[in-house]
Structure 1
Amino acid sequence: MIWVWATLIAAVAQTGRNAAQAGLTASVGTVGATAVRFLFGLPFAALSLIALAPFVAVPALGGNTVAYAALGAAAQIGATAFMLLTMRGQGFGVATALMKTEPVTLAIIGAVVLAEPLGPARLGAIALATLGVVLASGARWSRAGLRGIATGVTAGALFGLSSIGFRGALLSLPEGGFFIRALTVLVLTLALQSAAMLIWMGLRDRRGLCAILRMWRQSLTAGALGAFASLFWFIGFALTPAANVRTLALIEVVLAQLVSGRLFRQSTTALQLCGMGLIVLGVGWLLAVTV
């Protein structure tokens, strides 16, 4: 049950991180707001690992671990780019629904790359919850062009590939409990992503880089929440196939709909209610066959 609680904690923390990043976008730009989660998350993760090192043996990094982490880091950056491209060309509901197809692609990639068993019960639960997201999004699919659908599905697939890379890195470590392995891979991943973003922004977006440094207080908040959320995602990945983690995370769609209805008085259609019901059934089915 640890992976269940870790996933729920990660989903809540990610919501806070997204809110903090959204507040920075107007000041530092989209690329700058994306970079904040890596650049300002790394110090928190690194200091945590340094503090634990005298008490817990830190796993040694091998070539496979670095390769898997690099795959996850690069795929996550690419997925973010396709996500932003989709949101710019499509409505929010369409973009969200397309990207939430991630658990399906994740399950398939995991079965191929990591040889993780993909039984009919797991696949059925994942497909049911994903269908629920499509319905709950309230998307107007008549407005979705083929290009937008392609970029959205690509974003979801790349997010799935990034999760596979992170789980592969966690499983390739030779020793250590799930927490120290998660923290070690988190530091490695954030270091790789920070280096990539620094090089990119140094060459292409120096203004955004300077803006991030000027707003370091707000950036620290987003970075801390991002590192905290990522740590618990990685704990989940260390304990169960990534598809299970990302499918359970779909429950946040239901919570978001409930919050928007309560706080912002946004109406919910019968089709959206049906979609939320399918998400709950899919998540419940997944837990029944995995826990």
Structure 2
Amino acid sequence: MELWIPITICAAFCQNARSAVQKSLQCHVGTTGATFARFGYGLPFAAIYVIVLHVGFSLPLPSLNAVFLVAGAAGGLAQIAGTFLLVYLFSQRNFAVGTAYSKTEPIQAALFGFVLLGEKISWASAGFILVGIGGVVVISLARSSLSLATIFSAVLGRSALIGMASAALFGASAIAYRVASLALEGTGVAMQAGFALFYATVFQTVLMVVWMLLKSPATLQASVKAWRSATWAGALGIAGSIGWFTAMTLQNVAYVRALAQIEMVFTLLASFFVFKEAVSDREILGCILIIAAVVGIVLTH
């Protein structure tokens, strides 16, 4: 089995665990505070990871270059913007359709990868990517009363467009991070990924701190008071991001983000076992489709 596959699955698991912590944290510090925990409290762990790679494993620190600095910053901005749009969907009455469209990220990542990096995927893998996205859409709409006609009529609706914009930003962010990581060639895959992650996290933390100081200082104060839970969110977030950055350094982003849809399976398991929420038949069907897609991508990429 190629290394990027278990790394991606582990990253998806860590991201799911981080989301579960953020769900609990959100009740105390709000959406912005919970989002900040991912970056602000994750920054020390990102720094420790780079130090361990440099001191413990003797991997050289990279020399910075313009491509790395621009791509890393662009990825950070795109990720924040994509997260903002996705969170905004939750305030919409018909956010289910928009959320489903936001899960088209693997397709858009494949398009960005082809246009910007010349990366291609096989027809078989493309088919399994669509199967996986279908599974995610089934899960996203499982608890909605939307009919097929309503879904089609909503294609050009506000929530659908926001959802697709969110997916485009996440796809662009992933490609930008891959470009940034590859620009540090010569320092080893782990250091390339780790240092790119550290830079992006610094950039995002500074932006969010400045924004909260100007717009919502109370949220920043609440985040500081909730440091125990926020630290867990940050640690799990960085653990997941280390996986994402490493996998995307090793492999085509489209494959990585498609395999990452297995997170939805972990989400449903957490929903059922941790939060004691009911799981519908359609959600189970969606899980089966995602698992089938994951197996297919692994076998055909």
What's the TM-score once normalised by structure 2's chain length?
Answer: 0.89
Residue 164 of structure 2 aligns with which residue? 153
The whole-number CA distance in structure 2 between the counterparts of 1:214 and 1:260 is 27
The whole-number CA distance in structure 2 between the counterparts of 1:234 and 1:222 is 18
The whole-number CA distance in structure 1 between the counterparts of 2:23 and 2:266 is 19
SS in 1 for 2:186: coil
Residue 278 of structure 2 aligns with which residue? 266
Go from structure 1 to structure 2 and tell me whether the alpha carbon gap of 1:218 and 1:267 turns closer, same or farther (over 3 Å shift): closer
Residue 146 of structure 2 aligns with which residue? 141
Is 2:121 aligned against 1:118? Answer: yes
Shift of 1:111: 0.6
Q: Name which of structure 1's ranges 61-70 and 82-91 shifts more when overlaid on structure 2.
A: 82-91
Shift of 1:95: 4.6
Q: Name which of structure 1's ranges 235-244 and 248-257 shifts more when overlaid on structure 2.
A: 248-257
Residue 193 of structure 1 aligns with which residue? 204
Gaps of 5+ in 1: none
Shift of 1:277: 3.0
The whole-number CA distance in structure 1 between the counterparts of 2:210 and 2:28 is 20
The whole-number CA distance in structure 2 between the counterparts of 1:189 and 1:223 is 14
The whole-number CA distance in structure 1 between the counterparts of 2:123 and 2:235 is 39
Residue 21 of structure 1 aligns with which residue? 22
The whole-number CA distance in structure 2 between the counterparts of 1:79 and 1:57 is 33
Shift of 1:195: 1.1
Shift of 1:193: 0.4
SS in 1 for 2:300: helix
Residue 295 of structure 2 aligns with which residue? 284
Once the two structures are superposed, the pairs formed by residues 36-75 of structure 1 within 5 Å of their partners are 36-54=37-55, 55-75=58-78
Residue 78 of structure 1 aligns with which residue? 81
Shift of 1:133: 1.5
Go from structure 1 to structure 2 and tell me whether the alpha carbon gap of 1:260 and 1:216 turns closer, same or farther (over 3 Å shift): closer
Is 2:255 aligned against 1:250? Answer: no
Residue 2 of structure 1 aligns with which residue? 3
The whole-number CA distance in structure 1 between the counterparts of 2:272 and 2:229 is 28
Residue 215 of structure 1 aligns with which residue? 226
Shift of 1:77: 0.2
Is the contact between residue 129 and residue 258 of structure 2 (CA under 8 Å) also seen in structure 1?
A: yes
What's the TM-score once normalised by structure 1's chain length?
Answer: 0.92
Give the AA of the match of 2:81.
Answer: G
Superposed CA offset, 1:233-273 (max 9, x none)? 1111111011111111112223433554566362422x444
Is the contact between residue 98 and residue 134 of structure 1 (CA under 8 Å) also seen in structure 2?
A: yes
Q: Name which of structure 1's ranges 25-34 and 221-230 shifts more when overlaid on structure 2.
A: 25-34
The whole-number CA distance in structure 2 between the counterparts of 1:166 and 1:285 is 26
Give the AA of the match of 1:206.
Answer: P
Go from structure 1 to structure 2 and tell me whether the alpha carbon gap of 1:52 and 1:207 turns closer, same or farther (over 3 Å shift): same
Residue 100 of structure 2 aligns with which residue? 97
The whole-number CA distance in structure 1 between the counterparts of 2:289 and 2:183 is 35
The whole-number CA distance in structure 2 between the counterparts of 1:81 and 1:214 is 23
Q: Name which of structure 1's ranges 186-195 and 219-228 shifts more when overlaid on structure 2.
A: 219-228
SS in 1 for 2:38: helix
Is 2:219 aligned against 1:182? Answer: no
The whole-number CA distance in structure 2 between the counterparts of 1:31 and 1:249 is 24
Go from structure 1 to structure 2 and tell me whether the alpha carbon gap of 1:245 and 1:74 turns closer, same or farther (over 3 Å shift): same
SS in 1 for 2:90: helix
Go from structure 1 to structure 2 and tell me whether the alpha carbon gap of 1:130 and 1:70 turns closer, same or farther (over 3 Å shift): same
Go from structure 1 to structure 2 and tell me whether the alpha carbon gap of 1:63 and 1:267 turns closer, same or farther (over 3 Å shift): closer
Is the contact between residue 94 and residue 140 of structure 1 (CA under 8 Å) also seen in structure 2?
A: no
Shift of 1:218: 1.9
Go from structure 1 to structure 2 and tell me whether the alpha carbon gap of 1:45 and 1:177 turns closer, same or farther (over 3 Å shift): same
Residue 88 of structure 1 aligns with which residue? 91
Give the AA of the match of 2:211.
Answer: W
Percent identical pairs in the alignment equals 35
Is the contact between residue 60 and residue 174 of structure 1 (CA under 8 Å) also seen in structure 2?
A: no
Give the AA of the match of 1:45.
Answer: A
Count of equivalent residues: 289
Superposed CA offset, 1:196-226 (max 9, x none)? 1111111111111111122222221111111
